[in-house]
């Protein structure tokens, strides 16, 4: 009860007040965040935005929530450590919507994660009409409940008469039926002309004749107990205007066995219940593919329901639908239940936009309307949100594993909208990722709806428009890592512009800008893709200039990744490296001879092991180990470079095998990690740690931020060269030994980029990058542009898929796809220099670009 009092108090507060936040690089800072407002936390990459938003505010909100649960529930939840903070007041239950969490189940789809599919299962159960999959006639039912459902779906005015024996003495069962009908809320019943209360026990006397009328809507169903009625009249629900349903005594077993059967061909049907439409259950799933929908996944052994097998992305390309269910995932009985002639499988195959139209056009009877109103509203809300945030092109049966991080994040947001909560704290991590400026605008509008419903929204974001539109801005900085962790400015957007200490303010105020290049490079050679037609691409042909910086633009779902990754990258890899990747459909690619290397730099994690870090990944640690083994002390003791590796025995701490951490297995509780008590987290044994270079041992070096290491190793050319690149690209704040598992997708991508930059360039290399601005602040974007230009000036070609207008305006050449996402996209809308595209009235990108030039 004490907790509850605290919560009510918290809820009444106007602010979330944070005192003494010290997580990661935060400098014991205080912050005040207005509740029921949209606050954007911005600042350079590595300045501490996520440390404040996610690792402090969200973590504490979550932890308090978990603490309020029973001990029993708690043991199943991840134990969250208390963040480094003195206290936080005014917190609400917190929901974080980031880009990382993906379920790896092959049965997770856009429809299931948004719950749209689950609601549709209930809708199909309630008002779907069963057809026989063999002869096509409507299934008649021997089940009272289902009879009534079938009758109610008839055109109004149809006269229906049901002849049936009352079930003598089995009042319990009879009552069950009645109650089920009553649940729909339309049933009135009379026994022998008298109204009865359906919540009461109905006592029917044995041997006595009763006449029972069940009145549902405008139909009257008469149960007559005339036991002598022998006439069994076949039903033809579809065409007859009087329907007589035979429920004679000899059919009584069927009456309560709740089975359905086709009256023409006699095929029996399972009971219609939501489970029948679930491809996650044995009851509903297609018997061939067990609900996964694809032949190749069957072959790869993903057939079982439990434990949920996880799937790898590569298995999800070039999939062929299951031969039995045609990719619809369900058994044929489930697929033969239709709503306005559409099965649930066909519904799921629709794009969000088409599904919206389908639901909108559904015509309901009054009764149907009442029992489906809530479901329809939930489905509509979610569909319209998905469409509003630029995901109208996604099909509901799209496997969630094939979604990009940004798409998945917006989908989780749609799920939240549907739940229409109030008093919640939403923490979002860069929701603009993958969004065209046009869709960013829409997303922001949706966030304002969430706010107006009485929720607090905190967004970690770099997108200029989002920052400008926020109610409140917290600007972190000034630098990254050790040089960040302070709040530079906390104010309404108008005020940050006047704060001379804030770099963000300077960019917003236009005092600092990323300049538009004076000249665009002129290409001489081209790659030409002819007849690209994978997914939504409309048999397009496009020339991609080489030796310049090309941006591929277009709204989300327009076909950018399909053209550049699925087709171009895979085809070139096959050609140059004889790789086994299978490209998407195209006719021909000309000009491949002009390049001799293709490098794709995406945002997938560097590794899932904590042993991988910037130093190991970029090869810097190898050089440092070599350096340490050359030191006089090492030579005397005969230490080789491997002595300084934490991956092999010799120099590492054997107590933790170089992890620095020890796993404690807790019975019934998740494993806990504690710092190794032998090496105190330093990963090496004492002898190794006795070797010093300029006063630092190998563990000290791994703890150094890259900027510091750059100074420290400035005399060692191969190290300086590699560290320079990392610094140039804005990664100076990362510690050399920071575990790869703590890096964001954007950071991982920039590390990959720097590794490539460190290699000898051939001058004929094609670099392909996907949204490298992820996680980048204005300052960092300038740095990234410098790196790109360096690559291009060496003669290489760079193709970037990007939404950031500062990057797009800096390109030499733009290929704009669209006009929309999904089926309404897949065409080339505009090509040419940014100036050319800005003039094109058809291009959404052009419209936004125009303001930037």
Pairing mode of beta strands 526-532, 597-601: unpaired
Window contacting ligand ADP (CB under 6 A); options: 45-53, 290-298, 303-311, 681-689: 45-53
Q: Closest separation between CB of residue 128 and ligand ADP, Å?
A: 27
Window contacting ligand ADP (CB under 6 A); options: 246-254, 323-331, 360-368, 730-738: 730-738
Classify the phi-psi angles of 819: left when phi > 0, otherwise alpha if psi is within -120 to 50, otherwise beta: alpha
Residues numbered 4-33 forming contacts with Zn ion, rule: CB under 5 A = none
Considering the complex, state which of residue 746 and residue 834 has its C-beta at the smaller distance from ligand ADP: 746
Considering the complex, state which of residue 122 and residue 550 has its C-beta at the smaller distance from ligand ADP: 550
Q: Which residues contact 372 (CB under 8 A, 6 or more apart)?
A: 123, 126, 127, 364
- Write the CA distances from 295 to 110, 111, 298, 320, 394, integer angstroms: 20, 21, 5, 6, 22
Q: Closest separation between CB of residue 705 and ligand ADP, Å?
A: 7
Residue 738 contact, options Zn ion, ligand ADP, none, Cβ 5-8 Å cut-off depending on partner type: ligand ADP
Q: Does 397 bind ligand ADP (CB under 6 A)?
A: no
The DSSP secondary-structure symbol of 55 reads I
Q: What's the first-to-final CA gap in the chain, in angstroms?
A: 60
| CA pair distance 98, 412, nearest whole angstrom | 9
Q: Are 139 and 260 in contact (CB under 8 A)?
A: yes
- State the DSSP H helix or E strand holding residue 441, giving kind and residue range, or none if neither: helix 437-452
Residue 655 contact, options Zn ion, ligand ADP, none, Cβ 5-8 Å cut-off depending on partner type: Zn ion
| # residues near ligand ADP by CB under 6 A | 33
Residue 118 contact, options Zn ion, ligand ADP, none, Cβ 5-8 Å cut-off depending on partner type: none
Edge-to-edge order in the sheet of strand 140-141: 140-141, 260-261, 268-269
* Three-state DSSP state, 598: strand
Considering the complex, state which of residue 255 and residue 656 has its C-beta at the smaller distance from Zn ion: 656
Q: Quick one: tokens of 101?
A: 């969490």
Residue 653 contact, options ligand ADP, Zn ion, none, Cβ 5-8 Å cut-off depending on partner type: Zn ion
Window contacting ligand ADP (CB under 6 A); options: 2-10, 390-398, 693-701, 706-714: 390-398
Q: Does 556 bind ligand ADP (CB under 6 A)?
A: yes
Max alpha carbon distance in the chain (Å)?
111
x/- string (CB under 6 A) for ligand ADP, residues 246-275?
Answer: ------------------------------
Question: From the list 742, 759, 786, 853, which residue makes contact with ligand ADP (rule: CB under 6 A)?
Answer: 742
Residue 689 contact, options Zn ion, ligand ADP, none, Cβ 5-8 Å cut-off depending on partner type: none
x/- string (CB under 5 A) for Zn ion, residues 676-705?
Answer: x-xx--------------------------
Nearest residue to 186 via CA among 445, 368, 382: 368
Residue 559 contact, options Zn ion, ligand ADP, none, Cβ 5-8 Å cut-off depending on partner type: ligand ADP
Strand partners, 543: 528
| CA pair distance 436, 457, nearest whole angstrom | 21
- Write the CA distances from 327 to 291, 317, 806, integer angstroms: 9, 14, 42
The DSSP secondary-structure symbol of 80 reads P
Q: Does 738 bind ligand ADP (CB under 6 A)?
A: yes
Q: Does 656 bind Zn ion (CB under 5 A)?
A: yes
- Write the CA distances from 17 to 29, 535, 730, 736, integer angstroms: 11, 49, 31, 34
Q: Closest separation between CB of residue 546 and ligand ADP, Å?
A: 22
x/- string (CB under 6 A) for ligand ADP, residues 682-721?
Answer: ----------------------------------------
Q: Closest separation between CB of residue 689 and Zn ion, Å?
A: 11
Q: Closest separation between CB of residue 779 and ligand ADP, Å?
A: 12
Question: From the list 16, 31, 47, 729, which residue makes contact with ligand ADP (rule: CB under 6 A)?
Answer: 47
Report residue 646 CA to chain centroid gap: 36
Q: Does 535 bind ligand ADP (CB under 6 A)?
A: yes
DSSP assignment of 280-295, as one string? TSTTTB-TTTTT--BH
Residue 676 contact, options Zn ion, ligand ADP, none, Cβ 5-8 Å cut-off depending on partner type: Zn ion
| CA pair distance 810, 813, nearest whole angstrom | 9
Neighbour-count burial for 720-745, b at 16+ CB within 10 Å, e otherwise: bebbbbbbbbbbbbbbbbbbbeebbb
Window contacting ligand ADP (CB under 6 A); options: 49-57, 576-584, 722-730, 833-841: 49-57
Q: Quick one: tokens of 241?
A: 């205007």
x/- string (CB under 6 A) for ligand ADP, residues 760-789?
Answer: ---------------x--------------
Question: From the list 106, 437, 559, 583, which residue makes contact with ligand ADP (rule: CB under 6 A)?
Answer: 559
Over its C-alpha atoms, the chain yields an Rg (Å, rounded) of 32
| CA pair distance 47, 26, nearest whole angstrom | 8
Q: Does 110 bind ligand ADP (CB under 6 A)?
A: no
Q: Applying CB under 5 A, which residues contact Zn ion?
A: 653, 655-656, 676, 678-679
Q: Applying CB under 6 A, which residues contact ligand ADP?
A: 24-25, 43, 45-51, 393-394, 398, 402, 476, 481, 535-536, 554, 556-562, 733-734, 738, 742, 775, 821-822
């Amino acid at each position: 009860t004490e907790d509850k009092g605290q919560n009510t108090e918290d809820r009444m507060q106007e602010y979330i007040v944070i005192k003494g936040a010290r997580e990661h690089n935060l400098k014991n800072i205080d912050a005040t965040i207005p509740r029921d407002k949209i606050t954007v936390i911005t600042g350079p990459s590595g300045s501490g935005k996520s440390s404040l938003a996610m690792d402090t505010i969200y973590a504490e909100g979550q932890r308090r929530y978990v603490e309020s649960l029973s001990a029993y529930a708690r043991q199943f939840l991840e134990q969250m450590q208390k963040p480094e903070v003195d206290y936080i007041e005014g917190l609400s239950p917190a929901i974080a919507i980031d880009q990382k969490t993906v379920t790896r189940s092959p049965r997770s789809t856009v429809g299931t994660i948004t719950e749209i599919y689950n609601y549709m299962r209930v809708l199909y159960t309630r008002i779907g009409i069963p057809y026989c999959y063999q002869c096509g006639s409507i299934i008649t039912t021997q089940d009272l409940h289902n009879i009534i459902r079938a009758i109610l779906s008839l055109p109004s005015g149809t006269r229906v008469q049901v002849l049936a024996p009352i079930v003598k003495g089995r009042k319990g069962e009879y009552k069950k039926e009645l109650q089920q009908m009553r649940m729909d809320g339309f049933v009135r019943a009379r026994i022998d002309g008298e109204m009865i209360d359906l919540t009461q026990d109905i006592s029917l006397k044995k041997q006595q004749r009763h006449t029972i009328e069940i009145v549902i809507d405008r139909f009257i169903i008469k149960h007559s107990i005339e036991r002598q009625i022998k006439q069994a009249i076949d039903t033809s629900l579809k065409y007859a205007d009087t329907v007589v349903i035979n429920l004679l005594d000899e059919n009584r077993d069927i009456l309560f066995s709740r089975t359905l059967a086709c009256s023409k061909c006699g095929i029996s049907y399972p009971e219609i219940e939501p489970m029948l439409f679930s491809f996650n259950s044995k009851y509903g799933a297609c018997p061939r593919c067990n609900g996964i929908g694809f032949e190749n996944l069957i072959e790869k052994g993903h057939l079982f329901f439990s434990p949920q097998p996880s799937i790898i992305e590569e298995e999800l390309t070039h999939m062929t639908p299951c031969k039995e269910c045609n990719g619809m995932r369900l058994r044929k009985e489930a697929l033969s239940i239709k709503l306005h002639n559409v099965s649930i499988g066909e519904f799921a195959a629709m794009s969000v936009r088409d599904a919206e139209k389908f639901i909108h056009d559904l015509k309901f009877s009054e009764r149907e309307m009442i029992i489906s109103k809530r479901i329809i509203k939930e489905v509509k809300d979610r569909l319209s949100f998905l469409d509003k945030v630029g995901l109208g092109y996604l099909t509901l049966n799209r496997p969630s594993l094939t979604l990009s991080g940004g798409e998945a994040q917006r989908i989780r947001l749609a799920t939240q909208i549907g739940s229409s909560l109030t008093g919640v704290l939403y923490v979002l991590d860069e929701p603009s990722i993958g969004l065209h400026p046009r869709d960013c605008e829409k997303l922001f509008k949706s966030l304002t709806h969430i706010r107006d419903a009485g929720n607090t929204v905190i967004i970690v974001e770099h997108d200029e428009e989002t920052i400008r539109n926020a109610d409140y801005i917290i600007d972190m900085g000034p630098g990254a890592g050790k040089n960040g962790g302070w709040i530079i400015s906390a104010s309404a957007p108008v005020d940050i512009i006047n704060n001379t200490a804030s770099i963000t303010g300077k960019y917003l105020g236009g005092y600092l800008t990323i300049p538009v290049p004076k000249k665009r490079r002129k290409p001489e050679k081209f790659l030409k893709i002819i007849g690209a037609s994978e997914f939504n691409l409309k048999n397009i042909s496009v020339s991609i200039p080489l030796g310049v910086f090309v941006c591929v633009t277009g709204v989300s779902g327009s076909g950018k990744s399909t053209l550049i990754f699925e087709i171009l990258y895979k085809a070139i890899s096959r050609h140059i490296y004889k790789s086994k990747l299978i490209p998407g459909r195209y006719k021909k690619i000309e000009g491949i001879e002009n390049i001799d290397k293709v490098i794709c730099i995406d945002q997938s994690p560097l590794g899932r092991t904590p042993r991988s870090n910037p130093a190991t990944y970029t090869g810097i640690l190898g050089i440092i180990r070599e350096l340490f083994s050359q030191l006089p002390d090492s030579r005397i003791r005969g230490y080789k470079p491997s002595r300084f590796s934490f991956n092999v025995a010799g120099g590492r701490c054997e107590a933790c095998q170089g992890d620095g951490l020890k796993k404690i297995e807790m019975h019934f509780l998740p494993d806990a990690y504690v710092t190794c008590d032998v090496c105190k987290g330093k990963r090496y044994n004492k002898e190794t740690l006795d070797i010093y270079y300029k006063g630092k041992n190998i563990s000290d070096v791994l703890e150094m931020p890259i900027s510091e290491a750059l100074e420290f190793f400035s005399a060692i050319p191969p190290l300086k060269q590699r560290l320079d690149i990392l610094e140039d690209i804005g990664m100076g704040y990362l510690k050399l030994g920071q575990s790869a598992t703590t890096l964001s997708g954007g950071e991982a991508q920039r590390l990959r980029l720097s590794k490539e930059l460190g290699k000898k360039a051939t001058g004929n290399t094609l670099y392909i990058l996907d949204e490298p601005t992820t996680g980048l602040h204005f300052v960092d974007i300038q740095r990234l542009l410098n790196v790109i230009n360096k690559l291009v000036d060496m003669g290489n070609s760079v193709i970037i898929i990007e939404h950031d207008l500062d990057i797009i305006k800096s390109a030499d050449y733009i290929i704009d796809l669209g006009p929309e996402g999904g089926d309404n996209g897949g065409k080339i809308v505009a090509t040419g220099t940014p100036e050319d595209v800005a003039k094109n009235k058809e291009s959404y990108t052009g419209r936004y670009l125009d303001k930037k030039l």
